[in-house]
């Protein structure tokens, strides 16, 4: 009942194990030998054990995938993209969900290291330093959707990921002339937020708020930039990754600043919270409040009113990240930025 090994095949075919290995991995072999080996292998229902191969090559095939929360449709889409690419390549994917908690993230990275998974696609939540162990171990990591924040708690420690990579010498091409880039696949947050803000200002809105989640400093920056200095810091609030926190932040914002007339939600869970909070406070969309939400999730259309969104290509982000991590050339890491699209539905109106 136990699985046939390469040795069994070799014996049954009257050849050495090396020959079997060669035939199965496309090496040189005479036509007749190849045929015989293949036949025997098929007849024995032989499947090469990834265990043996991995140990020999000191690495696991496939890739790791770290996302904050699979309950968030956007990350579900991203994961589907990764899985699609991995399946096409016949590679396994080891999944972890971090809950946007740097500690869990660190644990999961440790687990992947222990498994000798040497390729990783991550939506990071920990700061740059959290990624040191992975980089030191020579993992090829591609960040998706976000990039680790530069955490400068200790001033004498290098803060940005790029500096870390230089330090650890990940990739031998340590030329200061061409500093290493952190490979990543991101949506074009600058354009996305700018478009949304312009749309809103075009409708006459002046007091526009931003409701942000973890790990998207670039969206906030873009928001501030799009508003051109006229930013009111009270109108920029943040939640962590949980639904509760999103609701609390949304509700707090709406109550403390009843003068705001428009809101940009930097993620679909935040948008969800905003709709709920607005309803609770009897604010009508778009009459009392205009809302633009990140992520074109299917239910955006079912909402009342249908939500105007900044669509990100979640699935593509995942697929491209997987491509990158598989065909990664460590010497010349590439980064990809994918476009977003403003989809106008019914949640925005002229300033009342």
Please report, as ranges, the residues that interact with its own copies according to CB under 8 A: 1, 3, 47-52, 54-55, 58, 60, 65, 69-73, 76-77, 79-80, 83-84, 87, 90, 92-97, 104, 107-108, 110-116, 136-138, 169, 243, 272, 275-276, 297-299, 301-304
Give the nearest distance from C-beta 304 to its own copies in angstroms: 3
For residue 344, how many other CB atoms are within 10 A of its CB? 11
Q: Which of 12, 29, 106, 260 binds DNA (CB under 7 A)?
A: 29
Q: Where are the alpha helices (DSSP H) in 90-152?
A: 102-114, 132-136
d(CA 349, CA 352): 8
**Could you tell me which stretch among 48-56, 82-90, 215-223, 229-237 binds DNA (CB under 7 A)?**
48-56
Q: Does 26 bind DNA (CB under 7 A)?
A: no
Give the nearest distance from C-beta 141 to DNA in angstroms: 21
CB 5 within 8 A of CB 12: no
Phi, psi of 186 (to 5 degrees): -125, 160
Q: Which is nearer to its own copies, 227 or 289 (CB)?
A: 289
Q: Which is nearer to DNA, 26 or 176 (CB)?
A: 26
Q: Does 330 bind DNA (CB under 7 A)?
A: no
d(CA 288, CA 205): 11
For residue 158, how many other CB atoms are within 10 A of its CB? 18
Q: Which is nearer to its own copies, 230 or 279 (CB)?
A: 279
Phi, psi of 337 (to 5 degrees): -120, 125
Residue 116, classed as helix, strand or coil, is coil
Q: Residue 69's binding partner, choosing from DNA, its own copies, none, with beta-carbon cut-off 5 to 8 A by kind?
A: its own copies
Q: Does 21 bind DNA (CB under 7 A)?
A: yes
User: Pairing state of beta strands 184-187 and 140-144?
Assistant: parallel
Q: Which is nearer to DNA, 28 or 175 (CB)?
A: 28
Residue 126, classed as helix, strand or coil, is coil
Strand partners, 187: 338
Q: Does 252 bind DNA (CB under 7 A)?
A: no
DSSP 60: B
DSSP 203: T
**Binding residues for DNA, per CB under 7 A?**
2-3, 5-7, 14-19, 21-22, 24-25, 27-30, 32-34, 47-49, 51-53, 55-58
């Amino acid at each position: 009942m136990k699985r046939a090994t390469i040795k069994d095949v070799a014996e049954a075919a009257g050849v050495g194990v090396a020959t079997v290995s060669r035939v199965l991995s496309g090496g040189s072999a005479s036509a007749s030998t190849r045929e015989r080996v293949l036949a025997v292998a098929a007849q024995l229902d032989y499947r090469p054990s990834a265990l043996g191969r991995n140990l020999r090559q000191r690495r696991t095939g496939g890739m790791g995938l770290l996302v904050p929360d699979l309950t968030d449709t956007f990350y579900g889409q991203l994961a589907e993209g990764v899985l699609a690419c991995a399946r096409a390549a016949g590679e396994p994917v080891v999944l972890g969900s971090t809950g946007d908690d740097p500690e869990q993230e660190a644990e999961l990275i440790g687990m992947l290291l222990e498994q000798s998974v040497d390729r990783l696609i991550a939506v990071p939540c920990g700061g740059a330093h959290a990624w040191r162990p992975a980089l030191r171990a020579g993992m090829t990591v591609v960040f998706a959707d976000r990039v680790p924040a530069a955490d400068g708690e200790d001033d004498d420690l290098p803060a940005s990921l790029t500096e870390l990579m230089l330090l650890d010498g990940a990739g031998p091409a340590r030329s200061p002339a061409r500093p290493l880039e952190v490979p990543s696949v991101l949506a074009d947050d600058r354009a996305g937020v700018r478009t949304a803000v312009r749309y809103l200002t075009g409708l006459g809105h002046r007091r526009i708020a931003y409701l942000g989640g973890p790990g998207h400093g670039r969206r906030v920056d873009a928001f501030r930039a799009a508003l051109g200095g006229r930013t009111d810091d009270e109108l920029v609030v943040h939640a962590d990754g949980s639904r509760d926190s999103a609701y609390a932040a949304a509700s707090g914002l709406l109550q403390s600043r009843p003068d705001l007339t428009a809101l940009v939600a930097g993620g679909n869970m935040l948008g969800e919270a905003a709709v709920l909070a607005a309803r609770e406070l009897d604010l009508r969309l778009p009459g009392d409040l205009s809302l633009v939400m990140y992520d074109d999730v299917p239910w955006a259309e079912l909402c009342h009113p249908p939500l105007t969104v900044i669509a990100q290509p979640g699935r593509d982000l995942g697929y491209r990240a997987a491509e990158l991590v598989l065909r990664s050339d460590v010497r010349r890491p590439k980064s990809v930025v994918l476009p977003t699209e403003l989809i106008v539905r019914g949640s925005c109106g002229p300033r009342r």
